A and B are shown apart, each in its own frame.
Chain A
Amino acid sequence: MLDLLTNFLVNTGYYLMTYGNLLMIIIGCIFLYLAVVKEFEPLLLVPIGFGIVIGNIPFFKGFGIGIYEDNSVFHYLYFGVTTGVYPSLVFLGLGAMTDFSSLIAYPKLMLLGAAAQMGIFFTLLGALFIGFLPKEAASIAIIGGADGPTSIFLTAKLAPHLIGPIAIAAYSYMALIPVIQPPIMRLLTTRKERLIHMPEQREVSRTELLVFPVVASIICCLLAPTALSLLGLLFLGNFLKVCGVTERLAQTARNAIIDTATILLGFTVGMSTQADVFLNSKSLGIFFLGSVAFSIATGSGIIFAKILNLFMKEKINPLLGAAGVSAVPGSAREVQLMGQREDPKNFLLMPAMACNASGVIGSAIAAGVLWSFMN
């Protein structure tokens, strides 16, 4: 009986717990704290934080329990991450939620979304410089797009062993937008520039809204067919929303589907951060490069807006460049807040949403392009 009890005790998590597991559980709890108390992206950080806690409960290997063990429940759920199913479903829901009217009304602002993608390619060079392999470097670089699902999608295709750290880095920086972006925005713009008002958004007709997803999916998917599962579903979701005859499907996409995908994506990505896989020098490098990528993306959008202003009669508020990253709607909200802090009558939200939406499209194209280059 004593042997039985001893065997049981040595198989418990208490006995198998390592300092690494403990550290990761604390990190998971910090994520939960940030989500619940500080309300930093709670829809993402709660599933991820809880996943980190559960994923770091130690267990006896070989019982088919862990996320990396064949035939475990979590392994099956993780299948949606490694195959890119969840990110694509998130894009479907995102499309059904997004109103592209601001993008249609301010098409030139799409260039700011394009400029913000430069962070991705600068970081690619940085990651190669530090010593990451090309496929790993490409996966790390996409963090600069500030798009969690796209980062996971590309990493699953190119460097599946890095999904945990890359996803955590991408979502952490998305949650930390209110901390990271404002100092960069203030540093790169003058007060006079921050006071620039944007013209009122013109009315966008239903036909334009209807034609946009079709035209955009043809143009973008022809350019980067590797991003078909992201962009195709994004524009399908949007078409369901605007066509007016599939409201029930649009409702499902923007509620049930995106919520289910977000819960499973966040939880399994959190679980994939098991201490023995996650705590290494590569993860530290990824976090460092991720912050560089995000900062460069923010800065390049702002600087490009300033360059455009040298040639344009009707000036653009350079703060909008910061919304060129695809963190919807966090970065647009920061632009609006900073604009209003300088002048309460300055309404930048709608043009900032245009930049944000183009950022989503841009980072998905960038992911497709990187995938093509690496294969």
Chain B
Amino acid sequence: MNGFEAINQANGWSIAFLGAGIVFSGLVVLSTAISQLKKIIAFLESKLMNGNVIPPSTRPKLSKKIIRLPAVWPNDIREAAKLYTPLFEQLGSSFQLADLYRLSGEHNYPHPHLTIKHMREAEIIIPTGDGSFSVTQ
């Protein structure tokens, strides 16, 4: 048997629509659960740490200097390095690359890993010999 008759006989339409629906809803549930994971963990951690939950509105806000970045990221790595100046100032004369990467992420610098790599290749950031780095410009 073949054709639409075979599909009807095997209950194909129901299996296809129901199957697709189940797979889709399963992943939607998982996706929703994952998207809430961060909030739930933060909630539980704050409860564990303090014994009681601090409402988000009353949590002390960390003062963070706002760095304005251009809409179009410069192609020239030396120009891009200039935009990193506030971060270098914040880190001091000698710093760890991990700290620079973390700070770039906090200030929403685009593709920090790649930019830091290029700055190293261009010797804008050089190793100081003790595992730390410093800026040459």
Contacts and interface: CB of A to CB of B under 8 A. Distances in A.
Interface of A: 103-104, 107-108, 110-111, 113-115, 117-118, 120-122, 124-125, 128-131, 134, 137, 200, 203, 205, 207-208, 211-212, 215-216, 219-220, 223-224, 345, 347, 358, 361-362, 365-366, 369-370, 373
B35 to A, nearest CB: 4
Task: Name the 6 nearest CB pairs between A and B, nearest first.
Answer: A131-B2, A114-B27, A110-B31, A107-B35, A121-B16, A134-B10
9 contacts: A103-B34, A107-B35, A131-B6, A200-B108, A203-B105, A207-B45, A216-B30, A219-B26, A219-B30
B122 interface: no
Interface of B: 1-4, 6-7, 10, 12-13, 15-20, 22-24, 26-35, 37-38, 41, 45, 73, 105, 108, 110-112, 114
Given A121-B20, A373-B15, A108 B31 contact: yes
Contact of A208 (B15, B27, B37): B37
Contacts of B12: 124-125, 128, 134, 137
B1 A131 contact: yes
Contacts of A203: 105
Contacts, number: 122
A129 B4 CA distance: 6
A125 B7 contact: yes
B67 to A, nearest CB: 15
B28 to A, nearest CB: 7
A220 B114 CA distance: 36
B6 A223 contact: no
Contact of B16 (A104, A110, A125, A208): A125
Given A208-B38, A215-B37, A373-B19, A362 B6 contact: no
B27 A130 contact: no
Nearest to B40: A211
Nearest to A130: B2
A220 to B, nearest CB: 6
A130 B45 CA distance: 56
B10 A362 contact: no
B86 to A, nearest CB: 18
A361 B30 contact: yes
B26 A111 contact: no
Given A120-B20, A215-B33, 19 more contacts: A104-B37, A107-B32, A107-B34, A110-B31, A110-B34, A114-B24, A121-B17, A125-B7, A128-B6, A128-B10, A200-B108, A200-B110, A208-B37, A211-B37, A219-B26, A219-B30, A220-B30, A224-B22, A358-B27
B33 A108 contact: no
Contacts of B6: 128-129, 131
A121 B2 CA distance: 17
A362 B28 CA distance: 11
Nearest to A110: B31
Contacts of B10: 128, 134, 137
| Residue among B2, B19, B41 facing the most chain A CB atoms (10 A cut-off) | B19
Contacts of A358: 27, 31
A115 B6 CA distance: 26
A207 B27 contact: no
Contacts of B28: 110-111, 114
A157 to B, nearest CB: 16
Contacts of A117: 20, 23-24
A205 B22 contact: no
Nearest to A103: B34
Contacts of A103: 34
B77 to A, nearest CB: 13
